[in-house]
Amino acid sequence: MKKFKVLLYFLLGLSLSLFILTTSIHIKSFDMNYYMNSFKENNIEAATNMDEENLRHVAEDFIKYLKDDRPKLDTTAVIKGELRPVYGEREILHMIDVKALFKLSQWIKVISAIVAIGSLLILFKIKALNSSYLGKTLMITVGINLSLLLILVLLIQSDFTQYFTYFHEIFFNNDLWLLDPETEILIQMMPEIFFIKAAIGIGLYYGAALLLMMIIGFLLYKRKREKYTI
């Protein structure tokens, strides 16, 4: 029974970590304001030969596609004064791979939420749910996640391009992600700085959620200790 209880608390910590991570990624990836602000800051109108209205239309379709609210990325827009398809074949094929990753992340978020809730319910059912263990689990989970986040920040800060390349080589089994900034709109809209700031935003959301979890964990653990002191 003790090993089973430890397993349930481990699953709780792991599932909460995955839920927070995927939620942070989705919040930033689906943030229309982030796209439009990035377009303005990086002068994407000039890079793509599209005005703000068309860029907004393209970004809206892009987000819908990532959310799986749009089956195909067949967006058209006015580019250099001519209405035409925004993306070429390589861009469309690459985004099919990207969408598959987002679908996977959606499943991970849903499953991790189910596992977290299920773990709590089972712990309650077997009368193994108490504030001391729960608080300790949350604080340990935060500690591990913050350590991993710090390592990731240091690696990315040392050479973002290198580790961004590693990411693509790990998660994609082709070279479709190697786009030409001279001719392909996707990379023109989203240069490296777009992803650097997106990564920072995801890290901030993730860190804020971990901080909240740490506070909750500390209060739960302190509550139990005070009870014993009395």
Distance of CA 126 to the CA centre of its chain: 34
Give the residue carrying structure tokens 């596992």: 115
Low-confidence ranges of the chain (pLDDT < 50): 226-230
pLDDT for residue 230: 35
Q: What is the pLDDT of residues 46-86, one digit of tens each?
A: 999 999 999 999 999 999 999 999 999 999 999 999 999 99
The amino acid occupying position 91 is E
Question: Alpha-carbon distance 197 to 203, whole Å?
Answer: 10
DSSP 8-state class, residue 207: H
Termini Cα distance of the chain: 29
Distance of CA 222 to the CA centre of its chain: 32
Which burial class, exposed, middle or buried, applies to 174 when counting CB atoms under 10 A from its CB (0-12, 13-18, 19+)? exposed
CA 40, 26, 191, 168: dihedral to nearest 10 degrees? 180
The amino acid occupying position 170 is I
Question: Alpha-carbon distance 85 to 58, whole Å?
Answer: 10
pLDDT for residue 166: 94
- Rounded to two decimals, what is the model's pTM? 0.92
CB-CB contact of 58 with 145 (8 Å)? no
SS3 content of the chain, % helix, strand, coil (to 5): 75, 5, 20
pLDDT for residue 72: 94
CB-CB contact of 21 with 152 (8 Å)? no
Give the residue carrying structure tokens 């005070």: 226
